[in-house]
Structure 1
Amino acid sequence: MEGIIEGSGNWFQFGLIIALSVGLILGIKVLHFIFDNSGINTGLARRSVKFLRRLPDYLEPVIVLMIATYFLSINPIMHLLILAVVFLFGYGQIKDYFTGKSMLYSNELPLRSRIEYGDKIGLIMDRSRFGIHIQTKDGVDFLRYSKLYQDGFKLNTLDTYGGYFEFQVDANNFGDMSIHDIKEMILQSPYSNILYDTQVNSSVSPGQIQFNVHLRDESHLDDLKLFLKSNGVDTL
């Protein structure tokens, strides 16, 4: 009975598991940063960046379950009660967390996709651990995964919308920013389609750099220009 109460684990190994898990995630993020800023634009490099960006999301629930299991092994009875209390009071967040991971694994909610829910339409701008941020004409809404799954939604990826649109910037008028910085800015805007690469042409006209960006609709070109201007990049 004493062995069952005390369990087979110990706090040192528990701390070691947490430290190794944190180190693994940080190591993956460092590799992602290195690849993403290497300037290499081959297909393999882009796939590596995408893989490293998503890998922590896949590993995280496995690590959480592993840590919870080992925590339980230290003192099965006491820690089972603790986990039961955590589950009871955090049921909503836990449900959102694992529902979100399930949607991520099945790629049900791609970023920059158009989503219809209730009487609203918007673009998926961010996916957090417990819900998604949706850009609508009225602002940004936050929807919990479990509510989204329960109420239902309709999704359209931007593959079937829009096309490439071009604009120019003055090569001498965007300060200390690089072309890579501007491409990242375009990628982070709510108007570009991340499924397509932004194309850059610096030989169109002396002193000008041309950007070809895939947008959902031509009307978003002016919105993108205003977005860039608000971040210090004037378009021509």
Structure 2
Amino acid sequence: MDENLTHIFTWEQFTKLIVLLIVAYWFFKLLKKGLEKIPMFSEFKNIALTLLHKFLTVFQPLAFIIALSVLVFINPLLHGVIMGLVLLFSFLHLKNYLSGRLVLLDGTITPEKKISYNDISGTITRCGHLGIQVLSNSGINHISYSNLLNKGYTIIPDDPGSFSCKLIVENDEEKKPADSLKDLLAESPYIDTNFSCKIESNETYSMVHCHLYFPDNLPELLETLKESGYNAKRA
């Protein structure tokens, strides 16, 4: 009986499991990143990205639990005692981590979103494993996921006076896409400078996410880009 209890799993099986979980995680993570970079905006892509986001958010804690369970059953007595002590002393961090999975699951909390929490109001700059960073007038604030769940928060919508849009811009071979396009957009009178203008570039095109003062400014912006040698269209 003792021999059976101590040999339910082996270290070799545990190593193979860890490798499998890591490969699976990075496969779906790279799949999500690749899908995000494809210049195609459709209902199918949005659904696929949402499902991948939810899957990756849940996959991390599930993989962690599976790996720890197998580790314990390599040597239930010794590893069980050690794991019990680890869980006891790291309970608050684990609770905070799991709270973060719940908060991030619906996708409403992401970088660049505006959030209000207690007397803090600002822009989310980072979503970590244990909390978020919020840039406010007082500086950078660190807020744990447990506090977000316990005390509540409000996602502040974009300024109704601005118009969010995404553009696909074909790169001009004679220019450096990221630098020249960024300078051109920074000088445009149609872009609301209260919001950051995000540009993702590759060899053939640039994806631009910006805010215009009014929707009617879009044709003028496209014409300005065309006059400067950039063929652009709304994504």
In the superposition, the TM-score normalised over structure 1's length comes to 0.68
Following the alignment from structure 1 to structure 2, what is the Cα–Cα distance between the partners of residues 208 and 99?
A: 49
Return the offset for 1:114.
Answer: 3.5
Task: Give aligned-pair identity as a percent.
Answer: 19
Residue 15 (str. 1) matches residue 36 (str. 2): no
Task: Give the equivalent residue in structure 2 for 1:105.
Answer: 105
Shift of 1:210: 10
Taking the aligned partners of 1:100 and 1:62, their CA distance within structure 2 comes to 14
Alignment RMSD (CA, Å): 3.6
Give the equivalent residue in structure 2 for 1:48: 48
The answer for unaligned runs of 5 or more in structure 2 is 182-198, 212-217
Q: Is the 8 A contact 1:71 1:79 kept in 2?
A: yes
Quick check: 1:115–1:154 contact (8 Å CA) kept in 2? yes
Contact 1:110 1:157 in 2 (8 A): no
**Pairs within 5 Å for 1:36-185:** 36-106=36-106, 109=109, 111-150=111-150, 152-158=151-157, 161-164=160-163, 175-177=176-178, 180-181=200-201, 183=207
Match of 1:203? 223
Report the alpha carbon displacement of residue 8 of structure 1 after superposing the two structures with TM.
Answer: 0.8
2:125 counterpart letter in structure 1? M
Is the 8 Å Cα contact of residues 35 and 45 (structure 2) preserved in structure 1? yes
For 2:63 and 2:146, the matched residues in 1 are separated by 22
Q: Deviations over 1:154-207 (max 9, x none)?
A: 3034167443179xx9x87962327743646x47xxxx6xxxxxx796335521
How high is the TM-score relative to the length of structure 2?
0.68
| Cα deviation 1:66-96 (Å, max 9, x = unaligned) | 1111111111111111111211222221111
CA contact (8 A) 1:115 1:153 kept: no
Q: How many residues matched?
A: 199
Equivalent residues of 1:165, 1:212 under 8 A apart = no
Take 1:78 and 1:50, find their aligned partners in 2: how far apart are those partners? 41
The answer as to whether partners of 1:9 and 1:74 remain within 8 angstroms in 2 is yes
Instruction: Indicate the SS of the match to 1:66.
Output: helix
Q: 3-state SS of the aligned residue for 1:115?
A: strand
Q: Give unmatched runs, 5+ long, in structure 1.
A: 193-198, 214-236
Cα 1:162–1:86, aligned 2, differ >3 Å: closer, same or farther?
Answer: farther
**Larger CA deviation: 115-124 vs 174-183:** 174-183
Contact 2:118 2:153 in 1 (8 A): no
The Cα shift of 1:211 comes to 8.9
Cα pair distance change 1:35/1:107, threshold 3 Å: closer
Contact 2:126 2:133 in 1 (8 A): yes
Any conservation in 2 of the 1:113–1:155 contact (CA below 8 Å)?
no
Alpha carbons 2:28, 2:56 under 8 Å: kept: yes
More displaced stretch, 172-181 vs 118-127: 172-181
Check conservation: 1:164, 1:212, Cα contact below 8 A.
no
Shift of 1:9: 1.0
